[in-house]
A = this chain, B = another copy of it.
Amino acid sequence: MFSPLKRLLLGRPLPTSAAQHERLSRITGLAVLSSDALSSVAYATDAMLEVLVPAGLLAVSYTRPLAFLIASLLIIVTFSYRQTIYAYPQGGGAYIVAKDNLGIVPGLVAATALLIDYVLTVAVSVSAGISAIVSAAPSLDRYRVALAVGCIGLIAWGNLRGVRQSGRIFAVPTYAFISSVMLLLMAGLWRITTGHLPPSQELAGQHATATVGMFLLLRAFANGCTAMTGVEAISNGIPAFEKPEAKNAAATLLMMALILLTMFLGISVLSTAFHVAPREQETILSQLGRAVFGARNIPYFALQVTTTFILILAANTSYADFPRLASLLARDRFAPIQFTHRGDRLVFSNGIALLTVMAIALVIAFDARELRLIPLYAVGVFLSFTLSQTGMVWHWRRHRERGWRWRAAMNALGAIATMGVLAVFIVAKFSEGAWIVVLLIPAGVWLLLAVARHYRVTGAALALPDHPHAGPRHHVVILIVPEMNRQIADMVAYGSTLSDDVRALHVDLDPDCTKNIQQRWPRWGQGTQLTVLKSPYRSLVEPLLAYLETVDQERSGQTVTVLIPELRPRHWWQTLLHKHWSVQLRSELEDQSHVRVIASFEWPFQK
């Protein structure tokens, strides 16, 4: 039933035939699939500097080398993923690549890692988006959590309605963001070359320390690697591209990597040139904006607004990816089949709902501060990178196409590089929160396997036997008779047609009523036997359960039908005026080990 409220919130239901797919050009493809990757520059430099700045000036001097190290890693991963695009033109998500090449458990590990990361992407991106707003309007800081929750709610609502995610709608904020950042970089560069640098204020209180620990650099490196999250999106979305899909996707990936590289390096270099340090209430990008543009003026606000928009778009991509991966897992019977269900608006509503609940929980738990969430983030990303690239190595080894050695070597380089980052991540951020993800991934895999085992057992139990068989060997019909009236008379007449073994039961709750039934039974009972059950505690259910148990023991292979009268009044308020025997009894009379048919005899009293 499509209720008016649901209709108001979600719009009219869409027919299945309305499902259609827009093909993406390189331009729109970049807009739709790269918001997650590009938006990470809004927090990656913050995350890196957050570690370096408190350690002093010498540590800060490592910012540029670290940024270039991360940039070269990005290049390796990009070329590694280019190969996946050509090998899996139908869509090469880490779950599919790992499952195909490495086996079920590695596939499930990748899937769990991705699911966790999709939730984190929503939480981190929305929190960072709120940070961009708070940077521009600091008085909103205390509404941070409420704003983030409201924002997630809006994204979820849009996705439940099934927003038409057309390339054009995505193109505006994505290219606006790229333009804003590019403007910032160029203006910043001009200031540097013309020597208009402001005096260092942010680092004024800092003193240089003699040595910089290795561990500190590892942590800064790990944090900066969050810039690489989202790079895999294009390889998941290949079939959405215009023909030739693989070629367009590969070109888009390169273009995206180039833009990401420029922005991340630019922001990192500028932030050292302008002596900017991360603060609780203002992001690096906002500080750079103020420093470069000179004040909270129009270019500055444009930067903040486009940053917020692209971060919300990034969160929105998880709303496409998470439900799709959950439905893939459900199709393979690793997750509840409910995730395969498309709602009234053709979207995977259950996946959207689950993602929303978990992301909101995370935002509340971490106070909507993206820098606190960073230690948990990207473990999953790099684990799925590693598994996907390793899977590709196996892929080339099996297929041995022309030039497979070179390709395998490229993917092996990618796998080693991302595995290295993963190791750094786990070691450097373990105690800060990465341990949560390290524990969650095996737990998730165990859960997926348990679900699969259940479906396997169920499937075996539900397998059709060799031959069809006749009806139940014996059929006992039990009539629940709470009082004596026309409905009950109809029910008895109906019940008597079902079987030869019909028994009427009355639970004695009121002596007058019992007496009345006993007196009328010879005339109205249609020859069935009436049994009156005592109920010292005035319970309807307990005596019935005890009786049904004795019936179950009479013989094996029988089916018991329990027929319960239910009066159906014309108006809803009248339902308050009647006892609803079947509502009360239905769930109680279920049984773990016997076939039982629980039937309500629905009788409209105004015929």
Q: Which of A346, A498, A591, A602 has the most CB of B within 10 A?
A: A602
- Chain B residues with Cβ below 8 Å from A590 are 568, 602
Nearest B residue (CB) for A563: B597
A342 within 8 A of B: yes
Q: A599 touching B597 by the CB < 8 A rule? A: yes
A183 within 8 Å of B (CB atoms): no
Q: Smallest Cβ distance from A481 to chain B, in angstroms? A: 13
- Tell me the A427-471 residues at the B interface (CB within 8 Å): 451, 454-455, 457-458, 461-465, 468-471
Number of A residues contacting the other chain (C-beta, 8 Å)? 82
Report the separation of the CA atoms of residues A14 and B593 in the bound assembly, to the nearest whole angstrom: 31
Give the residue name and chain of the B residue nearest to A471 (CB): B497
Q: A588 contacts which chain B residues (CB < 8 A)?
A: 1
Interface: A526 (CB within 8 A)? yes
B485 with A462: CB separation less than 8 A: yes
Number of copies: 2
Interchain CA distance A542-B601 in the complex, whole Å? 22
- In the complex, residue of chain B having the shortest beta-carbon distance to the beta carbon of A499: B497
Residues of chain B within 8 A (CB-CB) of A342 are 538
CA distance A494 to B597 in the complex (A): 10
Q: Does A579 contact B (CB under 8 A)?
A: yes
- Say if the beta carbon of A537 comes within 8 Å of chain B: yes
Q: Is the CB of B487 within 8 A of A13?
A: no
Whether a CB of chain B sits under 8 angstroms from the CB of A298 is no
User: In the complex, A591 Cα to B526 Cα: how many Å?
Assistant: 26
The minimal Cβ–Cβ distance linking A2 to chain B, given in whole angstroms, is 8
A550 interfacial by beta-carbon distance below 8 Å: no
User: When A14-B537, A17-B536, A337-B577 are in contact, do A464 and B486 touch as well, CB less than 8 Å?
Assistant: yes
Q: Which residues of B contact A338 (CB under 8 A)?
A: 576, 579
Determine which of B484, B536, B594 lies in contact with A604 in the assembled complex, contact meaning CB atoms within 8 Å.
B594
**Residue A490 at the B interface, CB < 8 A?**
yes
Once bound together, how far apart are the Cα atoms of A523 and B468, in whole Å? 7
Cα of A322 to Cα of B333 in the assembled complex, Å: 56
Q: Contacts A537-B14, A577-B454, A590-B568 given; indicate if A493 touches B464 (C-beta within 8 A).
A: no
- Contact, CB under 8 Å: A570 / B597: no
Do A464 and B336 touch (CB < 8 A)?
no
CB distance from A607 to the nearest CB of B (A): 7
Q: How far is the CB of A506 from chain B (nearest CB, A)?
A: 16
Q: Which of A556-603 contact B (CB under 8 A)?
A: 559, 561, 563, 567-570, 574, 576-579, 586, 588, 590-603
Q: Chain B residues near A463 (CB, 8 Å)? A: 485-486
B-chain residues with CB within 8 Å of residue A469 when the two chains form the complex: 489, 493
Which B residues lie within 8 Å of A536 (CB)?
Answer: 15-17
Does A539 sit at the interface, judged by CB under 8 A? yes
Name A470's contact: one of B493, B568, B569, B576 (CB within 8 Å).
B493
Q: Which residues of B contact A14 (CB under 8 A)?
A: 537
In the complex, A194 has a CB within 8 A of chain B: no
Inter-chain CA distance A15–B542, complex, in Å, is 13
Residue pair A541, B602 in contact (C-beta under 8 Å): no
Give Cα A591–Cα B601 distance, bound, in whole angstroms: 11
| Residue A191 interfacial (CB < 8 Å) | no
A344 contacts the other chain (Cβ, under 8 Å)?
A: yes
CA of A243 to CA of B569, assembled, Å: 47
Min CB distance A213 to B, Å, is: 47
The answer to whether B461 and A524 touch across the interface, beta carbons within 8 angstroms, is no
Nearest B-chain residue to A455, judged by Cβ: B577
Tell me if A605 is interfacial: C-beta within 8 Å of chain B. Answer: yes
Q: Which residue of chain B is the closest to A545 with respect to CB atoms? A: B1
Q: A574-B454, A579-B338, A593-B607 are in contact. Are A489 and B471 (CB under 8 A)?
A: no
- Give Cα distance in the complex from A320 to B570, angstroms: 34
A336 contacts across to B, CB distance below 8 A: 576-577
Q: Which of B15, B462, B526, B594 contacts A486 (CB 8 A)?
A: B462
Interface bits A358-388 vs B (CB < 8 Å: 1, else 0): 0000000000000000000000000000000
**Contact across chains for B468 and A489 when beta carbons are under 8 A apart:** yes
Separation in Å of the A568 CB from the closest CB of chain B? 6
Q: Which residue of B lies closest to A450 (CB)?
A: B573
When distances are taken between beta carbons in the complex, the residues of chain B under 8 Å from A464 are 484-486, 489, 520, 524
Contacting pair A494 B472 (CB below 8 A) = yes
* Chain B residue at minimum C-beta to C-beta distance from A560: B602
Task: Check if A211 is an interface residue, CB within 8 A of chain B.
Answer: no
A496 interface residue (CB < 8 Å to B):
yes
A 78-95 to B, binary, CB cutoff 8 A, 1 in contact else 0: 000000000000000000
* Top 4 closest pairs, chain A to chain B, by CB: A599-B599, A471-B497, A462-B485, A15-B536
A-B contact pairs, 28 of them (CB 8 A): A1-B541, A1-B542, A1-B588, A13-B538, A15-B537, A338-B576, A338-B579, A344-B538, A344-B539, A346-B538, A461-B605, A461-B607, A462-B485, A468-B493, A471-B496, A472-B497, A475-B497, A494-B595, A494-B597, A568-B590, A568-B592, A590-B602, A591-B602, A595-B603, A598-B600, A598-B602, A599-B599, A599-B600
Mark A residues whose CB is within 8 Å of B: 1-2, 13-17, 336-338, 342, 344, 346, 451, 454-455, 457-458, 461-465, 468-472, 475, 484-487, 489-490, 493-494, 496-498, 520, 523-524, 526, 536-539, 541-542, 559, 561, 563, 567-570, 574, 576-579, 586, 588, 590-607
